[in-house]
Structure 1
Amino acid sequence: MSERTIAVTGSASGIGAALTSLLREQGIRVVGVDLRDAEVVADLATPSGRVAAAEAVTAAADGVLDGVVTCAGTSVPGELMVKVNYFGTTEFVSALQPALAKSSAPRVAVVGSISATQRADDAVVAACLAGDESAALAAAAVAIADGRARQLYPSSKSALARWARRTSVEDGWANAGIPLNVVAPGVVLTPMTAALIADPAMKQVMDAAVPMPLNGYLRPEDVARVLAFLVSPENSHITGQVVYVDGGAEAVLR
């Protein structure tokens, strides 16, 4: 098989950076997408940024794209969670479907979260799934005003998982040979979680919310390996799945 080309959002740090390194070690050409230090510099928080990013990736791949992995996201409570975590993924991936359909072995994986098992804001989720970004942001603003800003992260990730499961079997995806899956990590050791882990009280809260009996916290590379398999040609029949890479957290919680 000729060299594969895979787009990775959030390629400049965290899971995205780990995946980019792993794929390149495997001889795969990666087109990174991020706010900085990437082949495609774009802001996925805006509709125009998503369009520009998809167009730039398509051009870089000469119109034929073998895979997409979306690692870009934010955990800072606020409307940006809806803009980046949900619409910055779904609209970007959807815009690349024509380029993916031209590949002989196209694959897509999006990064969700164990937090999708937590309580979400129904209005935010419904608006996201309806594709109405304005309504989703309005619902998010209500949640923030009501002191429920922390519900926006599980809301964005829950909606993303439901979108992927629904979309995976719609026309143009499974019947075009494009597997679409979600990888939902538990607690990943990144600069973002370092402060929480260093604080004994916060660590106790986090461990209660995300219990990980198998081997404890994840490294970005642990998640990257699962993503790499899901976007490899070897994944011929897995689609519409939420794969929890979480040390057993989802099993414990449910």
Structure 2
Amino acid sequence: MSRVSVVTGAASGIGRATKELLESRGERVIGVDIHDADVIVDLSTAEGRAGLADGVRRVDDGPVDAVLAIAGLAAAAPPTVAVNYFGTIATLEGLRPLLAGSPAPRAVLVSSMAALMPTDGELVGLLAAGDELAALARAGELAQDPATTGAQIYSSTKLALDKWVRRQAATEQWAGAGIPLNAVAPGIIATPMTADLIGTPEARHALLGLVPMPLNGIAEPIVVARLLAWLTSEENTHLCGQIVYVDGGSDVVLRGDSVW
């Protein structure tokens, strides 16, 4: 029997590439997005998050084998906090009960190598505390200067997600239930989210100066999709709590061996 996966952000970018890849392999995919998806919800809102599980059940009332939390924003604005962090956590925690009936349940979220960039400690702390109102307010303060502090909104949400994965993956709710929980951290990917940043040779050169990708440069969404497909496959039995960089070498260049 083919596996059933839920993919958020399925209408474009990495989410769309992942949905199409899994479907090409004969899997059943329930796409979630704010438009052009099987389940239409807005993960920036409490109402959208609360309706996600019911929406998935209406499409397919059987067990779910994998949850891929891919939906995200990169704007220097509070909605990035709402979708990237609170929407992602609500997706994974809200759909986790649907994984219980699978013989090989899997879960993964999309982070970013941006977590290695400057972040705002106060915002990261508020995210870890689950204080959405305060986190949105802090993001509003940071957004007043989009070019400097505003840029830290996105990176802070991704760092907070990395920390959440590390704290949760080995718990009874995840590893104890036989669910490998991991994250991928892409470098620069050619998606609608990055279109303005890589639209000219000059822009691409400038961005790669900040995010070095010595191995093959800027990647297409399918590169990340292939990794996500393996992480949520039956083959992945023991990878637990890992942030897997698929960044053309950015992490290596920026951190070297300092991680040990």
Superposition TM-score tier, normalisation by shorter sequence: over 0.9
Which whole-Å CA distance do the structure 2 matches of 1:90 and 1:112 have between them?
A: 12
Which whole-Å CA distance do the structure 2 matches of 1:142 and 1:91 have between them?
A: 24
Which whole-Å CA distance do the structure 2 matches of 1:182 and 1:87 have between them?
A: 16
Contact kept in structure 2, 1:8 and 1:16, CA below 8 Å: yes
Aligned to 2:40: 41
Aligned to 1:203: 204
Which whole-Å CA distance do the structure 2 matches of 1:236 and 1:110 have between them?
A: 17
- Pair 1:167-2:197 in alignment: no
Contact kept in structure 1, 2:12 and 2:192, CA below 8 Å: no
* Unaligned stretches of 5+ residues in structure 2: 256-260
The number of residue pairs the alignment matches comes to 253
Q: How does 1:214-253 map to 2 (within 5 A)?
A: 214-253=215-254
Q: For residue 200 of structure 1, report the CA deviation from its aligned partner.
A: 4.2
One-letter identity of the residue aligned with 1:56: G
Which whole-Å CA distance do the structure 1 matches of 2:199 and 2:42 have between them?
A: 31
Question: Equivalent pairs: percent with the same residue?
Answer: 48
With the length of structure 2 as denominator, give the TM-score of the two structures: 0.93
Corresponding residue SS for 2:198: helix
Task: Give per-residue Cα distances to partners, 1:70-110, cap 9 Å, x unaligned.
Answer: 11111111001100001010011101111112211000110
Which whole-Å CA distance do the structure 2 matches of 1:72 and 1:163 have between them?
A: 17
Which whole-Å CA distance do the structure 1 matches of 2:236 and 2:56 have between them?
A: 23
One-letter identity of the residue aligned with 1:197: I
Q: For residue 63 of structure 1, report the CA deviation from its aligned partner.
A: 4.8
Which whole-Å CA distance do the structure 2 matches of 1:51 and 1:164 have between them?
A: 21
Q: For residue 228 of structure 1, report the CA deviation from its aligned partner.
A: 0.2
Task: Give per-residue Cα distances to partners, 1:168-221, cap 9 Å, x unaligned.
Answer: 112211010001111110011123323322334432331111100111111000
Which whole-Å CA distance do the structure 1 matches of 2:141 and 2:193 have between them?
A: 26
One-letter identity of the residue aligned with 2:159: S
- Pair 1:14-2:34 in alignment: no
Contact kept in structure 2, 1:77 and 1:150, CA below 8 Å: yes
Which whole-Å CA distance do the structure 1 matches of 2:21 and 2:232 have between them?
A: 12
Q: How does 1:20-35 map to 2 (within 5 A)?
A: 20-35=19-34
Contact kept in structure 2, 1:54 and 1:96, CA below 8 Å: yes
Aligned to 2:49: 50
* Unaligned stretches of 5+ residues in structure 1: none
One-letter identity of the residue aligned with 1:108: A
Q: For residue 146 of structure 1, report the CA deviation from its aligned partner.
A: 5.7
Task: Give per-residue Cα distances to partners, 1:99-138, cap 9 Å, x unaligned.
Answer: 1122110001101101000111111111111111112112
Contact kept in structure 2, 1:101 and 1:177, CA below 8 Å: no
Aligned to 1:190: 191
Aligned to 1:69: 68
RMSD: 1.3
Which whole-Å CA distance do the structure 2 matches of 1:53 and 1:137 have between them?
A: 22
Corresponding residue SS for 1:110: strand
Q: For residue 233 of structure 1, report the CA deviation from its aligned partner.
A: 0.5
Which whole-Å CA distance do the structure 2 matches of 1:216 and 1:26 have between them?
A: 27
Which whole-Å CA distance do the structure 2 matches of 1:69 and 1:9 have between them?
A: 6
